[in-house]
Amino acid sequence: MHFKERLKTKNISIMVLGTSSGVGKSITVTAICRILRDLGEQPVPFKGQNMSNNAWVDTEGGEMAFSQALQAFASRKTPSSEMNPILLKPQGNSTSEVIHLGRSVGITTARNYYQNWFKLGWEIIKKGLHKIIEKDENCRLIIEGAGSPVEMNLIHRDLTNLRIAKYLEANCILVADIERGGVFAQIIGTLELLKPDEKKLIKGIIINRFRGDLSLFEEGKKWIENKTKIPVLGILPSLNEIFPPEDSLDLLDRVPSKKSAALEIGIIKFPSISNFSDLDPLENEASINLNWVRNGQNLDKFDLIILPGSKQTIKDIFFLRKSGLFKNIQEYSKNNGNILGICGGLQMLGKYLEDPYSKESFKTLKKGSIEGIGLLPLKTVFLEAKTTKRIKSHSNWPCITTIKGFEIHNGISEIISSENKDNVSEIFRKNKLGWYIDSKKKGSIAGTYIHGIFENDQWRLNYLNLLREKKGIQKLDKIHTPYRIKREAIIDNLATQFKKHINIESILY
């Protein structure tokens, strides 16, 4: 990798690389951002290219990965798409939607991506970096790498690791996960595969997820430092705090653990699940257990079934049919169960879906429509243009309150004119953002296009009390801790643990 171009910044950029995916790069960047912000600096998170369907929409309507939005919160900054200039949103069959600086610019196969998008991608990454520096030349970039920086079959076309590190002449941290085993081989193998000028950029090593007595690894720490001549900045214990996951596989690792939970909620785990950070406010409610459902089963044990967002709505309807969940959800509704769909989940609850541009399915439906679950009298048509914007509205149900969130969808849903609409009502004062059918003696069926709906504390409280009332248990008087305050406390606790165990300041200058 030959480089002549460089971007000079006033403050040394910090880049977090990993020995592999999932070693803790994202939470390391989150912690560093909060630590530096508390020290009076102006950290700005950055990840040149991210692959995720867990997205956020910024104030300009631009899409970005939720992990960079969370890092922006840690920096006490408003998330902006230049913090994640390339977002790849997988949609199955080895294809992804390409998002550049918040805007959808096309679809690519994995095989063709680097051939057709590499040069443009690098220009977009540089543009994102320059936009950040133009806003505040005194900021310090805190950059997250992706996967491993030494995937030798891909390194010549790697956009988001060493190319960025060299461009910024960043001080790099290498994170290794001891819980996976083979931590010495992880570190030595990664360093050995770096070129000499690349290895010089590595200024420190972090050992993540250590369990037990930290002093037992002191000899291991000395061995690593003697062998690599690079300081071990610290050893981070395994954290028990729950953090928003970066990819959907992490959802399956969570098991119900609250013995005194009053409500059991089942979440349908679609193959193309998206925007699952919508559920984090529920994860942090002491009175709730979340259970992930992906196989056909009797759902009657749950007080609520949630159909979350989907990147491929029609494809996931086929999954529901094949798994048996399609009929299970219908039977659950007949038994007076409570159901909530979010975005793609809302669309699935309707009667018909049409996809003339093949935006949400893997095969064209130009000649007709596909049947949805049929619990709401809705027809959805997927349009060529995508809606991405922030939302502020007022809810009519289950309470009157101000609602904030965002939309990401192609589909437009309408009530079917020939259906009996007497029992269907709008959830929000702004039209076509959500509908519900509710009976005090029976279950409720609701769906909304608003992502982040559960972050609205008053709405969440009243919705949970609706469920509690139907179950015949005492209502909650209030939400004990607003979600945003709880999220701040989690980030603060993460930063505290890092400050306790990791010497970050040694590489700042």
For 488, the 3-state DSSP assignment is helix
Residues pairing with 444 in the sheet: 438
Question: Does the pLDDT value for residue 256 go beyond 70?
Answer: no
* Rounded-to-integer distance, Cα 319 and Cα 312, Å: 11
Binned at pLDDT 50, 70 and 90, residue 5 comes out as: confident
CA dist., res. 464 & res. 14, Å (int): 42
Exposed / middle / buried, residue 6 (Cβ in 10 Å: 0-12, 13-18, 19+) = exposed
pLDDT of residue 431: 80
Average of pLDDT values for 45-70?
A: 97
The token pair at 419 is 């259906």
Q: Which two tokens stand for residue 417?
A: 């004119």
How confident is the model at residue 1, as a pLDDT? 43
Instruction: Examine the pLDDT at 254 and tell me if it is beyond 70.
Output: no
pLDDT category at 326 given cuts 50, 70, 90 is very high
On whether the CB atoms of residues 258 and 289 are closer than 8 A, the answer is yes
Q: What does the pLDDT average to over 250-255?
A: 49
Task: Look at residue 251 and tell me whether its pLDDT is greater than 50.
Answer: no
The Cα–Cα gap between 221 and 165 comes to 25
* Dihedral class, residue 272 (left if φ above 0, else alpha if ψ from -120 to 50, else beta): alpha
User: If you ran DSSP here, which 8-state letter would residue 121 be given?
Assistant: H
Confidence (pLDDT) at 240 = 58
What is the reported pLDDT for 8?
86
Q: What's the pTM? A: 0.93
Return the bridge partners of 305, or none.
266, 339
Active site residue 343: yes
> Would you call 451 a catalytic residue per the annotation?
yes
Whether pLDDT at 56 is above 80:
yes
Average pLDDT of the chain to the nearest whole number: 92
Ramachandran region of residue 508, left (φ > 0), alpha (ψ -120 to 50) or beta? alpha
Q: Is it the case that residue 442 has pLDDT exceeding 90?
A: no
SS3 of 274-340: ECHHHHHHHHCCCCEEEEEECCCCCCCCCCEEEECEECCHHHHHHHHHHHCHHHHHHHHHHCCCCEE
Q: At 250, phi and psi to the nearest 5?
A: -65, -25
Q: Are 376 and 445 in contact (CB under 8 A)?
A: yes
- pLDDT attached to residue 247: 39
What percentage of the chain reaches a pLDDT higher than 70? Answer: 93
Containing 185, the helix (H) or strand (E) segment is: helix 183-192
285-315 tens-digit pLDDT = 889 999 999 888 899 999 999 999 999 999 9
pLDDT at 95 over 80: yes
DSSP string, 361-429: SSS--TT--EE---SS-EEEEEEEEEEEEEEEEEE-SSS-EEEEEEEEEEEEEEE-TTS--TT-EESBS
pLDDT tens digits for 332-374?
999 999 999 999 999 999 999 999 988 876 565 655 789 999 9
Average pLDDT in the 486-509 region?
Answer: 92
Please report the pLDDT score of residue 479 as a whole number. 74
What is the CB neighbour count within 10 angstroms for residue 505?
12
Which residues partner with 56 through β-bridges? 64
Neighbours of 114 (CB within 10 A): 16
Question: Is residue 241 pLDDT above 50, yes or no?
Answer: no
**Cβ-based neighbours of 455, under 8 Å, separated by 6 or more:** 281, 404, 405, 483, 484
Report whether pLDDT(244) > 60: no
Structure tokens at 335: 């038994």
How confident is the model over 401-436, as pLDDT tens digits? 999 999 999 999 999 976 666 689 999 998 899 999
Strands 339-342 and 352-354: unpaired
Statement: residue 245 has pLDDT above 50: no
pLDDT tops 80 at residue 242: no
Given pLDDT bands bounded at 50, 70 and 90, which one contains residue 249?
very low
Residue 382: name the closest of 406, 413, 407 by CA. 413
Q: Pick from 68, 106, 76: which is nearest to 88 by CA?
A: 106
| Tokens at 282, concatenated | 């529920």
Set out the domains of the chain in order of their start, with CATH numbers. 14-238 (3.40.50.300), 248-481 (3.40.50.880)
Which is catalytic among the residues 100, 172, 409, 451?
451
Measuring CA to CA, how many Å separate 81 from each of 45, 132, 506? Answer: 11, 10, 30
Catalytic residue, candidates 33, 139, 172, 343: 343
Q: Taking a C-beta distance cutoff of 8 angstroms, is the pair 501, 209 a contact?
A: no
Q: State the CB neighbour count (10 A cutoff) for residue 376.
A: 26
CA 235, 245, 46 angle in degrees (round to 5)? 75
pLDDT at 418: 67
User: What are the angstrom distances between the C-alpha of 386 and each of 105, 315, 359, 360, 408?
Assistant: 11, 18, 9, 11, 7
Predicted local confidence at residue 373, as pLDDT: 98
Looking at the chain, the whole-number percentage of residues with pLDDT higher than 90 is 81
pLDDT score of 495 = 95
